[in-house]
Structure 1
Amino acid sequence: MKKPFSTFKAGAFALLLLASGGLKAQDKPHNVIPEPVKISTSKGQFFVKSSTTILIQQEEARTTAELLAARLNKATGWNFTVKKGPHQPNAISFSLHKNPVDELGKEGYNLEVDANGAKVTANQTGGLFYGMQSILQLLPTEIESNTAVKKDWTIPFVKITDYPRFAWRGIMFDVSRHFFTKDEVKRFIDVMARLKYNTFHWHLTDDNGWRIEIKSLPKLTEVGAWRVPRIGKFNQLDAPKDGEAATDGGFYTQEDIKEVIKYASDRNVTIVPEIDVPGHSMAAIAAYPELSCSKDPKTKVNPGSKFAEWYGNGKFKMLTDNTLNPSDEKVYEFLDKVFTEVAALFPNPYIHVGGDECYKGFWEADANCQALMQKENMKHVEELQGYFMKRVEKILKTKGKKLLGWDEILEGGIAPEATVMSWRGIEGGIEAAKLGHNVVMTPSPYVYIDFMQSDRTLEPPIYATLRLKKCYDFEPIPEGVDGKFILGGQANLWTEGIPTLAYAEYMTYPRCWALSEVYWSPKEKKNWEKFVTKMENHFDRADLAGINYARSAYDAAIKPYMKDGKLVVELEAEIPNLTIHYSIDDTVPSKFSPVYKDPIQIPEGPITLRVNTYRNGKPIGRMITLSREELVKRSK
């Protein structure tokens, strides 16, 4: 029987849309962070059942498959195991290409989900791991539950081709300012690996604690790993008192280090250790005072007391000598011992040697340093750091390692094969790249996740503010720079004000969700509004997983300025489709208060501005309260 014309016409139109790829299903929202290179969805979903098989075709895929099985078992209460064999119906399978696919590189993957199951293919195991992470993000939110949940476990029909924009996608974690246990470090690595980060920069030594066992130099952990206990704001705490016991701290044994390295490797994460020299070495000097110019036997590991005066523009004076002596051959013998043991532990090619914020005042006053400058025909004391770093690079080369340092290593002459981390903005990275050095872009205005996330009245105050959208807008390749020298980038988490893992997570997420798209996703695929939708889904997932995070992105931004002698305030919401309500009449803003539309002129007098953001008539941000006096201060 012939179909009515209208039905036939509608059916033909649908087929035409399908054939042309125009069906909106291809634009169906998904929650994969970071955004994949190519993703298309179609109608339908694969049901994961207790009978579903997890398959591997090569033994190398087993670790990833077992990680998936463990996550599924916890959330479903079922008992998945991993088997070896070709893909079959009702299976989730992992396989490596016999002939590598150039497009995928080392870390890319293909994921295809249809009625027969889910199939992940890749050139190397890193790609399989990332394909597995995308499967987890496509599963219902309850996959993050730590107890069994009864529900339909579905994965939408999808095709994904995905690979990273940058090879270096990292997070730096400072364990010197506050010590974090081995298990806390492993958890931090596990959570970052979900976002396809592949580099964990482990800041192991600084003025406030030496955290890695060096067997040939036992005092580094016997003395250098411990400081007197203090609670409160760093740089404002009391200095150690004579006879006071140093009981706060800890360190990682070499067996701990090996365990963490293996844990990270299973999650495609490389660990880059940092031994910060020649400055930031007070913990080492407390253990071995003869390493400094001052040779002060009373040097203590700093507990967060003030030991420097900062003058702005990077200028400062150290009140206590925390710098290794570049003119003393015993310093290089010490470093040779340290790097021998560090190099033997860490399989990656890099060792980070710091090089930042090195005060040279004690060098200027030291006769041996001055004699070395004269011998080497140095005109400026900064050249001593260049000399020191070149000596360190030679030591590292004998261990088969490459030198990596903060951008201060450009001063006084950079070591010939050094890789530079550009942290004081992007300028150091530009200079290094133009000199032909590889660069990791990590500029503080965009990626220092120890900075405040919202208004300073709502967050514990620290040096600066870094909002979520500014992270998302970061572009690692500066204009006019050859991208081949930019390895990638990373976020840096300094822990002066971060004493617990929960707070470390609060400072890291969602800013590192945003940065994961900066480092992984194609530049043209980034979309702020789409990211926000995914982020809100990940809030729910993090709640179930017990991962802490900040909701500071919902808070309004307040920008006061003076115009024609009048105080004016602009308000801004970085999350789309929020309404900003405010008051200047000493009432608490509600949905009945004025809605911000245009800049507000603040009258003279004892005025207080109160601001909050709303969605659908309900408050979603935190109320910000600022006096007129404070607004005037901020306008300058």
Structure 2
Amino acid sequence: MGLWVLGPPGLAGFAAADDPPATERAVTDIVPAPVQARPDPAANFTLTADSVIRAEYQAHDVADYLGDLLRPATGFAIPVVDRYDTSKPGITLQLGDADQQLGSEGYQLTVAKDGITLQANTTDGLFEGVQSLRQLFPSAIGKSSVQQQDWTVSGGTVFDYPRFARRGAMLDVARHFFGPDQVKRYIDQIAQYKINTLHLHLTDDQGWRIEIKSWPQLTEIGGKTAVDGDPGGFYTQDQYTDIVNYAASRHITVVPEVDMPGHTNAAQASYGELNCDGKPVPPRTDIDVGYSSLCISSPTTYKFVEDVIRELAALTPGPYLDIGGDEAKSTSAADYSAFYAKVMPLVSEYGKQIQGWHNIVEANPPVSAVPEYWDTSRTNADVAAAAARGNKILMAPADKAYLDMKYTPDDPLGLHWAGYVEVKDAYDWDPATVLQGVPESSVAGVEAPLWSETLRTSADIEYQAFPRLAGIAEIGWSPAATHNWDDYRKRLAAQGPIWTAQGINFYRSPQVDWK
């Protein structure tokens, strides 16, 4: 007998038993847009209680992650079995022997009636492929309790790899503190859109958020404050390590930032010897910038900086350590250069490469350093010169990529010093052309910073990040040729039910016809 399907109001249609079930999204609806996607509605696959995940031993972590995504809403066991166990239908994760064009993060996905195959050269590629696959399931797959429904996946093939190696998100935990579980929640959310770097802004004028055992008052005093006098907080070294490991399980590398020589009031309130007069400064919980500076002439400053770099580098397996460098308005140009001439070699001494805000180019960093461009200007001769010397620039123009900017003047959250940034504004730019003199070959990738002056809860983080983060992720991942607002806004609309099922608080922009 056929299956009843709903038609227009007051009508009912009749579908033949062998018609493929309807699906919410096709392979052409994936965000970020794949390099190639060919839908095949006749090849839809339905996950059932008998389905399994096949994976060789090296891919078991990704297989377990996929199983954990699928089990709560389906209620199915979905065991992980040997790669060559073909006794039951399901999803095969195939590691190695994929097209070399896919590189280390690309993947091939095939959805057919008799099963799903995901192939990649590395587990990074398998993980990114899982992010595309999960979008092809019904949105209810994101719910945490069992849902009684079919679990049909859109048929077709995807061949996909990233445009840029770095696709980052930054979370400011200094202006307001967010606990480890909140950071992990954000990690899970950004991983869905193939973000592979989390930049944690750990210190600022209003708070110091990372335990440094050789300087304990940084957290005992500097960790207690936050903007508007709100409660502070900090991560013990064990908690920070746990966050780093959790991010790694989502194939995300953590880049810790300790801002200097400005944005240092919390440190200077904790230790008087970091000030030229030897006296601690009063704590600050306002949002002004540019007033603080370490004492550039003091040997104690460099002992402090080295201890912080040494401890943080030992806790951080990723290649980069961010040493700030922005808005040092109370540090003279000569002192700024003198400071970094001593500090930059310390980063390499402890086995890390430098990341910093683009202002560090004024201190002539090594070509291995990654300056992050945050300004709204489309010209910067110093950054262009650094790119010409060989530095790769991370693109985060504030009027496009800053997730803390207000969407509209009516928004209760966010700032607007860089303008109002609606969803289309955040999507309509190209990292290869946004800054004069910095071509695509000199771009490391993109980052979406989220500053927390006005943010206090995970719901606040989510409202500011979504939907704009998905657009920044697409700019970093997808081929430039796929960049089209009219197409993107339709695919973005189809993400709305996914976020709703997952409990993500997002801004329902009137620019998008949400599903």
Q: Same fold (TM over 0.5)?
A: yes
Q: Which residue of 2 aligns with 1:457?
A: 410
Aligned residue among 109, 115, 118 for 1:117: 115
Q: How big is the shift at 1:480?
A: 4.8
2:186 maps to what in 1? 188
- The answer to whether the 8 Å contact 2:73/2:140 transfers is yes
Report the alpha carbon displacement of residue 180 of structure 1 after superposing the two structures with TM.
0.2
Q: 1:258 aligns with which of 236, 241, 246?
A: 241
Aligned pairs for 1:407-486 within 5 A: 407-415=358-366, 417-425=368-376, 426-428=378-380, 429-454=383-408, 456-460=409-413, 462=415, 463=417, 464-478=419-433, 480-486=437-443
Letter matched to residue 542 of structure 1 = W
- The one-letter code matched in structure 2 to 1:253 is T
Bigger-Rg structure (1/2): 1
Aligned positions of 1:179-578 closer than 5 A: 179-227=177-225, 230=228, 248-297=231-280, 299-304=281-286, 318=291, 322-360=292-330, 381-415=332-366, 417-425=368-376, 426-428=378-380, 429-454=383-408, 456-460=409-413, 462=415, 463=417, 464-478=419-433, 480-551=437-508, 553-554=509-510, 574-575=511-512
Mean CA deviation greater in 196-205 or 154-163: 154-163
Alpha-carbon separation, structure 1, partners of 2:271 and 2:322: 21
Residue aligned with 1:542, SS: helix
Q: Shift of residue 215 of structure 1?
A: 1.1
- In the alignment, residue 55 of structure 1 is paired with which amino acid? R
- Indicate how the Cα distance of structure 1 residues 427 and 406 shifts in structure 2: closer, same or farther if over 3 A, else same: farther
TM-score, length of structure 2 as denominator length? 0.89
Tell me how far apart the structure 2 counterparts of residues 167 and 452 of structure 1 sit (CA, whole Å): 28
SS in 1 for 2:38: strand
Q: Please tell me whether the aligned partners of residues 110 and 158 of structure 2 are also in contact (alpha carbons under 8 angstroms).
A: yes
Could you say which residue in structure 1 is the equivalent of 2:95? Answer: 96
Q: Displacement of 1:436 after TM fit?
A: 2.1
Deviation string, structure 1 residues 297-343 (Cα, Å, up to 9, x no partner): 3x23322265x6xxxxxxx6x3xxx2111211111111111111100
Query: What is the identity percentage for the equivalent residue pairs of Structure 1 and Structure 2?
Result: 35
CA contact (8 A) 1:90 1:117 kept: yes
Higher RCO, 1 vs 2 (CA within 8 Å, ≥6 residues apart): 2
Q: How many residues align?
A: 483
My pick for the range that moved more, 386-395 or 202-211, is: 386-395
1:136 pairs, out of 134, 137, 142, with 134
Aligned residue in 1 for 2:19: none
2:109–2:157 CA contact under 8 A, matched in 1: yes
Distance of 1:444 and 1:431 partners within structure 2: 21
The answer as to whether partners of 2:321 and 2:353 remain within 8 angstroms in 1 is: yes
In structure 2, do the counterparts of structure 1 residues 461 and 266 end up closer, same or farther at CA, with 3 Å as the change threshold?
closer
Q: Contact 1:285–1:292 (CA<8 Å) still a contact in 2? A: yes
Distance 2:450 2:226 in 1: 23
Letter in 2 for 1:303: T
State the 1:269 CA deviation.
0.4
Task: Give the TM-score taking structure 1 as reference length.
Answer: 0.73
Q: CA deviation at 1:450?
A: 0.5
2:274 and 2:311 map into 1 onto residues whose CA distance is 19
Deviation per residue, 1:102-160 (Å, 9 max, x gap): 20111000111112211111111111011111111000111111211111111122111
Deviations 1:316-371 (A, max 9, x none): 6x3xxx211121111111111111110011111110000011123xx5xxxxxxxx
Residue deviations 1:442-486 (CA, integer Å, cap 9, x gap): 1111101110112x1344462231111111111101265342221
1:409 shift after superposition = 1.2
Answer whether contact 1:383 1:412 (CA < 8 A) is retained. Answer: no
* Unmatched runs of 5 consecutive residues or more in structure 2: 1-22
Inter-partner Cα distance in structure 2 for 1:180 and 1:225: 12
Residue 436 of structure 1 aligns to which amino acid in structure 2?
A: G
For 1:558, the equivalent position in structure 2 comes to none
What amino acid maps onto 2:49 in structure 1?
A: S
**Whole-angstrom CA distance in 1 between matches of 2:309 and 2:410:** 44
Per the TM alignment, residue 49 of structure 1 is displaced from its structure 2 partner at its CA by: 0.4
Tell me the secondary structure at the aligned position of residue 403 of structure 1.
strand
CA distance in 2, matches of 1:457, 1:278: 35
* Residue of structure 2 in register with 1:158 after alignment: 156
Question: 2:95, 2:129 → 1: CA distance?
Answer: 12
**Letter of the structure 2 residue corresponding to residue 439 of structure 1:** I
The C-alpha deviation readout for 1:162-195, integer Å capped at 9, x for no partner, is: 1000000001100000000000000101100000
For residue 100 of structure 1, report the CA deviation from its aligned partner.
5.6
CA positional deviation for 1:206: 0.6
Cα distance in 2 for residues equivalent to 1:304 and 1:256: 27
Whose strand proportion is higher, 1 or 2?
1
CA deviation after TM superposition for structure 1 residue 414, in Å = 4.0
- 2:54 paired residue number: 55
Q: Residue type of the partner of 1:46?
A: F
Report how far residue 504 of structure 1 moved: 0.7
Q: Secondary structure of 1:427's partner?
A: coil
What runs of 5+ residues in structure 1 fail to find an aligned partner? 1-24, 232-246, 309-315, 364-380, 555-573, 577-614, 621-636
RMSD, aligned α-carbons: 2.2
Change (3 A) 1:357 1:139: same
